[in-house]
Structure 1
Amino acid sequence: MTEIVDIILSEANGSFFYDDQAAIRSGLEQDGFTYAGNPQTPGFTKVRIPSAALSIGLVLSDGAVIWGDMVSVQYSGAAGRDPLFDRDTIATVCRERAMPKLIGSECVNAAENCAKAFANNSNEHVPLAIQYGASQALIAAAAYAKRCTMTEIICEIFDESLPTKPIPIFSQSGDERKLNVDKMVLKKVDVLPHGLINSKEKFGPQGEIFLDYIRWVAGRVRKLGAPDYQPVLHFDLYGWIGLGYSRDPIEVARFMAKCADAATGFELLIESPVDYGERAAQIDNYAALVAELDALGTPAKVVADEHCNTLQDVRDFCDAKAAHVVQIKTPDVGSLLDTARAIGYAKKSGVGAYSGGTSAETDLSARACVHVALAMQATMMLAKPGMGVDEGICIVGNEQNRTLAQIRRRLATERVQ
């Protein structure tokens, strides 16, 4: 059997930046790529800082080293999330609490190893960034030991059939919200454009600028896309219907119906229309919003993100019918096995399971997430990392296609035998 004999850490870079959401929402103006003003969220020394990561490498008894990346989300410290990622703190906790439990463990036991490494033996949970990166490495090590894909390991753990079809990919535009739409349409992305509607300038005094943007995106798809190209239009508003229009669920639903009219002919998803400030209020108001949207008969659907962080959060949003789709933001969930559980729970609840993440993570974590989305057959998954469109589509799309090719060959071989 192949065992873990040592663990090493290596500094790594995230693909984008960590942003102080509270400071940006307060109305700070952009100064080039930076923001003019002071940070408001604890841990931030500036409003926008480069994202950091820390790689964890499992040294195996046969000399191989299997890696995972520990990282946090772009808007760290907001909406109930773990604090801003600090590489030194994460390294210390990892060495003291998670790593010693893994030495001597057999690689094939991915689920047992994750449970052992993340067991809460004190008053503090193992930081989610550690759970995220270490679970990537532990699942990859099991796949290495069994000579299979990470997808097959996850399918085995959760008794899922091996996937044979791809998961729709959702691409995000960043601030290049027009140029990047053209890229997405030319590449026939399944879900687009995200839009990064995170300021008054992008939303408008009463939402007019955003409505015009929806019309522009729909028109651009019709102009540049093939006749049979019918992507889902998905916009992330970072709470700006609540900030710039109304917080009343009935009024929010009516505004979202206007958005659906602007997107006529396309399925429409609106992520984070309002941030109600804390978890219970978010669930209660989103449940009311979902009920009102359904009563109106509008095709507009609400996607939960803020305050829907952990596996338990996902379960609670689903139980309350507080979303049509939940974003399962992988670094906020922690262990990739908990992401798998969250996807499975959402699907059984009749809620769309969007396997998301963040522009701030790494190529390695992005590829690892593909396997969870594939194994659990998520509704869609995010093209990540970064905000450049091309790179995320390449990394996530290629990993998905390679994995499916391997699985198809394995299934074909088994049929022959």
Structure 2
Amino acid sequence: MQIKDVLLAPGNGAFFYDDQAAIRGGAIQDGFTYVGASTTPGFKSIRVPASSLSIGLVLTDETVVWGDMMNVQYSGAGGRDPLFETAEIADLTSRVVAPRLFDVDASRFRDSCTRVFEPVEHLRLPLAVEYGVSQALLRAAAHLQRKTMAEIICEEFDLPLPTRRVPIYCQSGDAREINVDKMILRSVDVLPHGLINSRQKFGVGGHTFMEFVKWVAARTRQIGRAGYQPVLHFDVYGWIGQEIGLDPQPIADFICMVADTVPDFALNIESPADFGSTQAQIENFAKIVSILDNRGSRARIVVDERCNTLEDIRLFAEAKATHLIQIKTPDVGSIADTARAVLLCKANKVGAYVGGSCTETDLSAQASVHISVATQADMMLAKPGMGVDEAFSIVGNEQNRLLAILNRRRTQNENVG
């Protein structure tokens, strides 16, 4: 109806795809590369440049709206889709998705997603395809209705126009000290991620990690502005469990010990352990949550691995098996499902963190901002890339522009009323 042509353009993600199994297995870093053979199927080397595929929808007025497809940094790990292959995704999109796009009413976002993302031979489309195409469909609906993407989400999910700014979370990559300083100087709301993804970075008994936590807190007091009190959020990629075992009690004891070293800060620990399956993750994370809550700890745990799709998120939220869920946007698939995931978390009184990956693009990051603000998520990731400045400006500026528009809309509506 409103879509008359489909364009595809190969592109670059803002970071690299990494073989998590090989890194966990002890692969040594040599500069920016890793030495050794890859382990995860699809990887020809442990670290490969992230690729992406843009899809452009040509509307009847010749406007072209875009969305970007890609996978996350640790593709093929923790139940995720395999490594992104641009040629394969382009072929599938041309053969299956493009013909469906010509038959939808692009002004109706959720209905368009439902029609375009129907299974093929009983199999779901690759989540990267859903992610990129849904971004383009959301932009199409916004253009056709002359509204922001956030307003489209608010209308289709019956939400009020948002007023609250969503806190932004930055990730440091391996340049920890320099990037932590950048975050503190910019007064980032939540920091620093830390990329604690190897035994070397975690240390024997977690000693190296604990020293880093204490350093971040001390550095915040040293160079941060008066009154600055960020949430400290560290992703340990399962290393607490790998180092001290998969018993929830000692894992919770360790988290409490870390929290006690930074008593003035709220502490988030992401992926404390990987219990091998979604069900095992739910059961054991629920035990850790219970122990922390019963102790009145300020520490919260965050689930990432084994919690990928909307259905996974529902299971964790309903079981109260985490304090905060990372809604990892490329793994969730359709960006409409990211909105559903936030609302599902809120309904179950579980924190909703709209995350994603450093491998994303400016376009996918901006679309994520609109979902986060419309649904009033608890926090959102500064993305793409690992450089802090670029991601913080892309996400932060998009949020500020959006809120300025929404404030004007609200004023107009009040004047009319």
- After TM superposition, the score normalised by the length of structure 1 is 0.99
Q: Aligned with 1:193: secondary structure? A: strand
Residues 319-367 of structure 1: per-residue CA shift (max 9 Å, x gap): 1111000000000000010000000000111100000000001111000
Give deviations 1:8-61, integer Å, cap 9, x for gaps.
100110000000000000011101100001110000000000000000000111
Deviation at 1:120, TM superposition (A): 1.4
Shift of 1:308: 0.3
Quote the Cα distance in structure 2 between the aligned partners of 1:38 and 1:298: 42
Cα distance in 1, alignment partners of residues 120 and 270 from structure 2: 36
2:95, 2:286 → 1: CA distance? 42
AA aligned opposite 1:364: L
What residue identity is the alignment partner of 2:351?
G
**Number of the residue aligned with 1:91:** 90
Give the whole-Å Cα distance in 1 for the aligned partners of 2:297 and 2:158: 37
Within 5 Å, give how 1:14-413 maps onto structure 2. 14-413=13-412
Q: Do the aligned partners of 2:104 and 2:115 also contact (CA within 8 Å) in 1?
A: no
Deviation at 1:106, TM superposition (A): 2.7
State the one-letter code of the partner of 1:242. G
Q: Distance in 1 between matches of 2:183 and 2:378?
A: 19
CA shift, 1:123, in A, is 2.3
Amino acid at match of 1:408: N
Output the CA distance in 2 between the equivalents of 1:121 and 1:221.
Answer: 51
SS in 2 for 1:40: coil
Instruction: Confirm or deny: 8 A CA contact 2:11 2:52 kept in the other structure.
Output: yes
- Aligned-pair CA distance for 1:410: 1.1
Cα shift readout 1:105-158 (whole Å, capped 9, x = no counterpart): 332111111110001142211110000000000000000011110000000110
Q: Cα deviation per residue 1:223-276 (whole Å; 9 max; x = unaligned)?
A: 111221110000000000011222110000000001101121000000001011
Indicate the SS of the match to 1:164.
coil
Q: Where does structure 2 lack aligned partners over 5 or more consecutive residues?
A: none
TM-score, normalised by the number of residues in structure 2:
0.99
- Which residue type is aligned with residue 52 of structure 2? A
**8 Å Cα contact 2:21-2:40 kept in structure 1:** yes
Bigger shift: 21-30 or 2-11?
Answer: 2-11
Query: Does the residue aligned with 1:206 lie in a helix, a strand or coil?
Result: helix
Distance 1:246 1:379 in 2: 31
8 Å contact 2:383–2:394 — kept in the other structure?
Answer: yes
Would you say how many aligned residue pairs link Structure 1 and Structure 2?
Answer: 416
Q: Distance in 1 between matches of 2:245 and 2:179?
A: 29
Whether the aligned pair in 2 keeps the contact of 1:5 and 1:104 (CA below 8 Å) is: no
- Structure 2 residue identity aligned to 1:172: Q
Q: Which residue identity is paired with 1:37?
A: G
Alignment root-mean-square deviation, CA:
0.9
1:76-116 deviations in Å (ceiling 9; x for gaps): 00000011111111111111221111114332111111110
Q: Deviations over 1:196-229 (max 9, x none)?
A: 0001111111001111111000001111112211
| Aligned AA (1:292) | I
Name the CA distance, whole Å, in 1 between partners of 2:412 and 2:324. 37
Q: Is the contact between residue 237 and residue 273 of structure 1 (CA under 8 Å) also seen in structure 2?
A: yes
Which region of structure 1 is more displaced relative to structure 2, 118-127 or 372-381? Answer: 118-127
Higher deviation after alignment, 115-124 or 304-313: 115-124
Following TM superposition, by how much is the alpha carbon of 1:391 offset from its aligned partner in structure 2, in angstroms? 0.4
